[in-house]
Structure formats: C-alpha cells, structure tokens
Amino acid sequence: MLMLLTAVALATTQQATSTESPFRPLELPPPTPERSASGTPGPRYWQQRADYVIRATLDTAANVLSGTQRIYYINRSDDVLPFVWLQIDQNLFAPGSVAGALSQPPLRFAGGVVFDFSGKGFVGGMTISRFTAGGRRVTPTILGTMMRVELPRALRPDSGVTFELDWRFPIPPYGAGRMGRIGSRFYELGMWYPRMAVYDDVNGWNTLPFLGAGEWYLEYGDFDVSLTVPAGFVVAATGMNANAEATRTRQQRARLARALRSATAVPLITREEAQANATRAVPGTKTWRFIASGIRDFAWAAGPGLRWDASAWDGILVQTFYHPEATSWEPANGMLRHALIHFSEKLGRYPWPQITSVEGLVEGMEYPMIIFCPALEKREDQYWILAHELGHQWFPMQVGSDERRYPWMDEGFNTFTNYDAAESFFKGTPYADTVRRDLLSAYTAAARPGAEQPMITQPTEVRELYWNAYQKPALMLTILRDAVIGREEFDRAFRVYVQRWRSKHPQPADFFRTMENATGRDLDWFWRNWVLTTARLDQAVDSVTTTSGRDTTFIHLSNRAQMVLPVTLELRYDDNTTEMRQLPVEMWLLGSRFTYRVPTAKRLTGVAIDPRHAYPDVERRNNSWGRSR
C-alpha cells in the first residue's frame, strides 16, 4: 500500500515522462553477428583486405606522378560482389569536380590554419589509362572521386581478385592542405594512388565522395612501393626502406645504426650536408623501395635538400626530415619521441618499426607511419602539431574508423589525447596548467544556440568543423573522464576500445557500447547530450532553506537546460571554512529539481556550483547563492 502511494506521488510530481527522460535508453542499431551488444567485434566480424604493389615515377620536369599498380583484393564478406568501388582523390582537382565547381571559401582552423578544398584553383585530376580485373581489360566508370569497376566474373565470398592499373596525374602545388609541392624541389605526396573503397557490414560499399572536408575510410593490407625519383633526392615514406644499400650512403647507414641505439637525435644528414645537397646536380634517377605491413594507406615526401635526424625508443626509429631554414625543427625529433612514448603508454605501444615526420608546406596531415607538419615559431605550437599528427597513428591509423562520416572518432579522440601529451611535455609551466581551458572558451565562441550542429553530423555539412570534430569531442571526453567516470576507469575503458578495434572498423555504437560495458556505467544519457544532440547545460542553485532548529540545511538545485551532468558543490560556512561535495548524475533521475540535505549545525553562508569552471554552463549567474567567496 505504501509502495503504491509512493508510485502515485512520483507519477504526479515527476516532470520528465519516460519518453522525455534524459536517461531513456539510446536507440542504437541492434547487435549483429558482426558487432556484439557489448561493443566488441562479433563472432562473425569480417572486413575486406587490399594489398598494394605500386611502382611510381616522379617527373620533376613536368610535375607529373605516374604509376603502375597492382591491388590484390580479398572478399571476406558473405556477399557475391558483381562490382567494386575505388577512390581517386586526385579528382578533387579534376575539371568540373564538386569542390571546384562550388569554389567555396577555405575552412579555417585555430592558429590560422586554412584548408582550401578548391586546391586554390588548380585543375588536374587522375587519368586511368589501363585497368584489368583478373587479367581481363575493363573500362571503369569514373564518377567524381569515385570509380566503379564491373568485374568480368563476380567476386565470390572468400576469394580474391587482382587488379592492375596504370595512372598519372599533374601534382598540384597546393593539394587541399593534405599534399603538394614547392616548385620542383620538394614534394609531399598523399592521396596519390587509387585506393579501394571500404565494403562493410553497415553500408555495403562506402561511396560518399571526397569533397575535401571528410577524410578517408580505408581497408588494411600490405604495401610494396617502389618510387623512382631524381638521383639527388632523399625519400621519406610510410614503411621501411627495403633497399638501403642502393639509396643511402655508407655514412648514412652507419649513422642510422647509431641512431637506433640513441635516445637523442643523431643527424643522418647535417645542416651543411643538406645545404650542399640542395644545390648539387646529380644526373639520373634512383628507385627507393618501401615495404609496410597491416596499414591502411601510404604517403611519401621527396626532395634534395632535407636535413635528417633520427633517434629510437624501444626499438622504434623516430625520424625527422626538414629544410635547413626550418630551425624550429631542431628540437622536433625530441618532441616526436616524447609524444610517441606518451601515446604508447596511454593507448598501447606504437605497432610499427618507424615513425617519420616531414616538415614542409602541408599544415598538418597524417598518414600511416609518416606525418606532414609545418615549421612553427612557437615551441608550444610546434609540439602541438607534431603530437596531433602523431596521435593519429592511433586514431584512425590503428583504430580504423570511418573518417568520411565520423571525424569526431579520429580528430576528436586524438585531440583529447593531445591535451594530455601537451600537459605532460610542458609540465610545470603556465601553458600546461591552462591549455585545456581553450575548450571552454571555444564552447562560448563556437557553440552558438540554434547554430550549433550535433557532433554526429557528417563533416561536409558542418559549418564549425574545428569545434564540432576536434574541440567538442575533446571537451566531452575530458568531462566524461574527470567528472563522470573517474580517470583510472576511463583510461582502462578507452584502452579496451583501442585494443578491441585495432586494425578494424568501429562504428559509433561500438564505441558507446564498449565504454558502457567496460566501465559498468549506463552512459546513454551522456552520448545523447554530447554526440546526438546539441543539449546545453544550465545547473542552478534555486534557494537555500533550513529547518526551524537550524540543524539541517536544504540546498534546492535545478537543472534548467536539457543536458544532465553530475554537480560539484562548494559549501562555505560562517566560520569561513569550505567543503566540496560531488553529487552523482543519478540526482536527476527523478526530475530536474533536487534538494540536497546538509546535516550541519554550522551556518551555511554560500553555495557555488562548478566553482572551478570545468563545465560549459551557459548561465553562470545562477550558479551561486549567498557569499561564495
């Protein structure tokens, strides 16, 4: 009887109905044999495989890259594939491309970084001069940056097909911020060869075109790449150099052996040597061969006048290539090594034998085992960009999420880990103590009510991509770790996610489920607030009352906007002492008002919510009562 009365009372006073409750279950795609309800890859998880053998020649007189390529593609799905799709990203610059036709102003990021997807007006694009499938000549259908190939014989489950193709494209000076060249003296080559589109259990063929904003979604495989360049050029690339005898001097090889045992940078090509190499004419060409295993992409850089430093950590070679005038890169090798250790310890050891960073015109771009970063004047900025591009070796190079749809799962997760790395590298400085506050100022500047878009929005439709895909997810994970789950449990669960989905293709639901299962928390409310909607937070102190005997004080709190979060309360007493109280998010289970009882004989003189300003509370004027300081 008593129970029934309580139930009636609850039903009439509770404001949120079950369909409006912030704690209602999230509607996720149902689990499948490929993706389990716990967030792990399921017992029938599968993904396709693509191995590449590429021979490419760099023509520096014409600034044209041409190649002959073999792809061995394995169908591990249960489906028969009558056709396949490939991505030809150079067609971002083809005549009549979507990005070229629309010619939109560039995307602006923090620190003046600009991505111009029109290629600053460059017109080029990929020419495919030959395509064979299983030895039979086929004519591909090219639709913008996507290419469909009808197979002479449909590809059955658990079988493979070999594609062979010849291609060429003029190298843009400015490749939409992700590749390019400086005249005919220096080249950074990404998005340069036709790559298999992903065929998965969620979308089938992933054929969203490359418009500039959303990056890639790629299959894993092995690469064997031979690059023919002018004989005087040095090549830095994904993978390991398989013909060092032919491409490097005896002195460089001896220095490299020394670098492999060194915790500090050993110059393999000194400043003086680089300056001399830059002007020396060397006739002929040289072919560099690189081999890499279990990766999803390949990039490289080449030029005659590069300095080359190397060190090692735990058997992993850490390499930095830069121009003699880029003096801010002299400490870059140590920065890269620090970040490598940091991420390895936090997220799992870096899995490949080397990591390379190349200084040049690209303002920050990641590829497996190689990153392109600019020279930046401020030490903090230089570390940040190196750590950011390096962090991408975990997201998305290891955890192979769909960047075309969900940049927050690579840019965002990575940015979150970058704050930890920067706080560690600059530990003890005011910068380390304050750098993460950027995220809350960004909230005020970028998350404008009515204009903000949910994090889940596809990047091509996002107006504030830096906020939406980088900063907001970093703020989200900071709050999840520090205010909701706790550091140790969060770190453990985040690592579980990385381990489960390494070299695989996670979807958002796989991440949500993994974090909930690994921490034992229901976080549906959290993902809804942060990822699926633009819920805003407004926690308030409504009033403070006491019992007549003044032995109990009641603090009446309310949650005035859609987002729910735990509450941090600072209590101040008439003897001028203060106390902190952490109220868990369950306080809001019964509705948006909560009365907190403080059994104390002391007189309360002030109450403050979120006194350290850790939350993006949109209305701070209602956060305190009485004398808070």
Residues that bind Zn ion (CB under 5 A): 411
Taking the complex as a whole, how short is the minimal distance between the CB of residue 149 and Zn ion, in angstroms?
Answer: 31
Taking the complex as a whole, how short is the minimal distance between the CB of residue 328 and Zn ion, in angstroms?
Answer: 20
Residue 586 token pair: 């369950």
- Give CA–CA dist 40/34, Å, rounded: 9
**Which of 89, 411 has the CB closer to Zn ion?**
411
**Which of 47, 356 has the CB closer to Zn ion?**
356
- Give CA–CA dist 521/265, Å, rounded: 45
Kindly compute the dihedral angle of the four CA atoms of residues 345, 348, 353, 354, in this order, to the nearest 10 degrees: -60
The candidate with the shortest Cα–Cα distance to 568, out of 553, 582, 554, is 582
Place of tokens 């709190």: 557
Taking the complex as a whole, how short is the minimal distance between the CB of residue 469 and Zn ion, in angstroms?
Answer: 9
- Give CA–CA dist 583/566, Å, rounded: 6
Residue 135 token pair: 């030895």
| Contact in structure between 375 and 330 (CB atoms under 8 Å) | no
**Which of 302, 409 has the CB closer to Zn ion?**
409
DSSP 585: G
| Contact in structure between 563 and 479 (CB atoms under 8 Å) | no
Strand partners, 291: 224, 240
Taking the complex as a whole, how short is the minimal distance between the CB of residue 425 and Zn ion, in angstroms?
Answer: 18
- Give CA–CA dist 237/606, Å, rounded: 61
> Residues 6 or more apart from 464 whose CB is under 8 A from it?
446, 452, 453
**Which of 113, 278 has the CB closer to Zn ion?**
113
Strand blocks (E) in 60-203: 64-75, 81-87, 107-108, 114-115, 127-133, 136-137, 141-143, 146-155, 159-170, 180-182, 186-189, 195-196, 199-200
Taking the complex as a whole, how short is the minimal distance between the CB of residue 364 and Zn ion, in angstroms?
Answer: 7
| Contact in structure between 241 and 287 (CB atoms under 8 Å) | no
The enclosing H or E element of 227 equals: strand 221-230
CA distances from 562 to 324, 467, 533, 566, 571 (A): 54, 20, 10, 13, 25
Taking the complex as a whole, how short is the minimal distance between the CB of residue 214 and Zn ion, in angstroms?
Answer: 12
- Give CA–CA dist 481/398, Å, rounded: 22
Taking the complex as a whole, how short is the minimal distance between the CB of residue 300 and Zn ion, in angstroms?
Answer: 19
- Give CA–CA dist 229/557, Å, rounded: 69
Q: Which residue is closest to Zn ion by CB?
A: 411
At 73, is the secondary structure helix, strand, or coil?
A: strand
Taking the complex as a whole, how short is the minimal distance between the CB of residue 159 and Zn ion, in angstroms?
Answer: 36
Residue 301 token pair: 């850089």
| Contact in structure between 518 and 536 (CB atoms under 8 Å) | no
Residue 478 token pair: 């900071």
Type of residue found at 437? R
**Which of 363, 411 has the CB closer to Zn ion?**
411
State the maximum Cα–Cα separation within the chain, in Å, rounded to a whole number.
97
**Which of 371, 608 has the CB closer to Zn ion?**
371
Taking the complex as a whole, how short is the minimal distance between the CB of residue 419 and Zn ion, in angstroms?
Answer: 14
Taking the complex as a whole, how short is the minimal distance between the CB of residue 472 and Zn ion, in angstroms?
Answer: 14
At 571, is the secondary structure helix, strand, or coil?
A: strand
> Residues 6 or more apart from 244 whose CB is under 8 A from it?
253, 256
Taking the complex as a whole, how short is the minimal distance between the CB of residue 387 and Zn ion, in angstroms?
Answer: 11
**Complete edge-to-edge strand list for the sheet that includes strand 186-189:** 180-182, 186-189, 300-303, 234-237
Residue 482 φ/ψ region, left for φ over 0, alpha for ψ in the -120 to 50 degree band, beta for the rest: alpha
**Which of 355, 484 has the CB closer to Zn ion?**
355
**Which of 39, 177 has the CB closer to Zn ion?**
177
**Which of 457, 529 has the CB closer to Zn ion?**
457
DSSP string, 171-216: PPSB-TTS-EEETTTEEEE-S-S-EEPPEETTTEE------SSS--
**Which of 239, 364 has the CB closer to Zn ion?**
364
**Which of 81, 465 has the CB closer to Zn ion?**
465
Taking the complex as a whole, how short is the minimal distance between the CB of residue 430 and Zn ion, in angstroms?
Answer: 26
**Which of 165, 376 has the CB closer to Zn ion?**
376
**Which of 144, 364 has the CB closer to Zn ion?**
364
**Which of 460, 546 has the CB closer to Zn ion?**
460
Taking the complex as a whole, how short is the minimal distance between the CB of residue 410 and Zn ion, in angstroms?
Answer: 7
Taking the complex as a whole, how short is the minimal distance between the CB of residue 403 and Zn ion, in angstroms?
Answer: 10
